[in-house]
Amino acid sequence: MFPIQVKPKLIEILSKYFNNEEIDTIGKEVFTKFNAHLLSGQPFGIILPTDIAAKTLVEYAIQQNKLKELTETIINVIMNQGGGIIFRKIEAIEIQDLLSQLTSFGYHYKNSHLIFTNEKDQWGYLEENKEYYFAYLSIDIVGNSQIQLKYDKPLIEDVYGKLLKLIRVWVEFYDGKIWTWAGDGGIIAFYKENVEERAVFAAFKIFFEVFLFNLDPQRNKFNEPIKLRIGIHAGPSIYKENKGNILSDSINFVAHLEKNFTQPNHISISKTVYEKINPRLQKIFRSKGIFEDKECFEISLDFPFNGSTV
C-alpha cells in the first residue's frame, strides 16, 4: 500500500508552490475531471484558500486510491520544469524531503515513475551530480588470478556467488551499499551518520564470517581458504545514479590503499577513518606509515585456517 504518511508533505508542496487553477490542472491529470472548489464543499462566490484546494486534492486521491499517481504527477511537474502540465519552472526545495520520505518506504523515483523495491532505503534520496560525504570500503579476493587457473568456472562462480551473498548481508546490516562489483571485489559505500565506524564494523563482520565460510566445505569448495584485503577511507564524491561513473579522489585512494598497501587478511584504514572511530576500535589498529601522503593504520585478521589449506 502506498504510504499515506506523505499526505502532509504533498499538501505543503501544493499549497506553497501552486495556485488553485494549477492544482485543478494537476488533479485533471489524474482524474480527468477535477474541481477542488466543487469537491471542497465550500460555497461558490468566495475564493477557495489554496491550502484547502491542496488538501481537497490529496484527500480525494486517497479516497480514490490514486495517491501514488498523484504523487508521481506532482514530482514530474517539479522535476521536469512543469512536465508539460504547468508551463513554468517550479523551484520546490521540499521535493527532496518528499523523495527521501518515499525512499524510506521503499519507493524510488526513476524515469518519471515511483517504483516499489520492497526494501527500505535508509539513505533517503540522493540528488544526481550533487556532492555527498561517504565512507568507502574497497574489498578484494587475494590471488584471484591463480584461483581462475586452478578451478573450473562453474565452481568459481558457485563459491564466489555464495561469498557475495555473505558480504551483502553484512554490508546491508550496516546500511551500506555495494556500488561496484567485479567478481572478485568492489567498492562499498556508507552514507549518513557515523559512516566511518559502520564501515569498519562491516569489515570485521565480513572477515569473521569468511573465517566460518572457509571452514564449511559446502560453501568454500576450494582446496584452500579464501583470503581478503580491505581498505577503508572517507571523503566527498559527486553522486551519480550509475555508480560506475562516480569518480573521486576518495574512491581512487581507497582502491589504491586496498590494492597497494594492504596485506592479505588485513584491514587498512586512513587517518580520516581512524580519527572518527571510537577509542576501543582505535586501540586495536596500529600505525603502518604514510601512503599517498596520508597516515594509515592496519589490523591483521589472519585467523587459524585463514592462511593455510583447510
User: What 3 state SS string does 55-113 have?
Assistant: HHHHHHHHHCCCHHHHHHHHHHHHHCCCCCCCCCCCCCCHHHHHHHHHHHCCEEEECCE
- Residue 95: give the domain boundaries: 4-116
CB-count exposure of residue 17 (10 Å: 0-12, 13-18, 19+): buried
Residue 263 has phi, psi (to 5 degrees) of: -80, 160
CB atoms within 10 A of CB 295: 14
Q: Model confidence over 61-111: pLDDT tens digits?
A: 999 999 999 999 999 888 876 667 887 777 777 787 888 888 888 887 776
Confidence at residue 207, expressed as pLDDT on a 0 to 100 scale:
95
- 112 and 42 in a single domain? The answer is yes
Does residue 85 belong to any structural domain of this protein? Answer: yes
Residues in Cβ contact with 37 at an 8 Å cutoff, skipping those fewer than 6 apart? 20, 44, 48, 53
Residue ranges in the chain whose pLDDT is less than 70 = 81-83, 111, 117-122, 304-310
pLDDT at 121: 64
Length of the chain as a residue count = 310
Q: What is the CA radius of gyration of the chain?
A: 25
Please indicate, yes or no, whether residues 144 and 291 belong to a single structural domain of this protein.
yes
Domain edge (last residue) among 116, 141, 165: 116
Provide the grid cell at 68. Answer: 501514488
What is the C-alpha separation between 80 and 271, in angstroms, rounded? 42
User: How far, in Å, CA of 259 to CA of 169, rounded?
Assistant: 24
User: What is the domain count for the chain?
Assistant: 2
For residues 49 and 175, state if they share a domain.
no
CATH number at residue 215: 3.30.70.1230
Same domain as 247, residue 98 = no
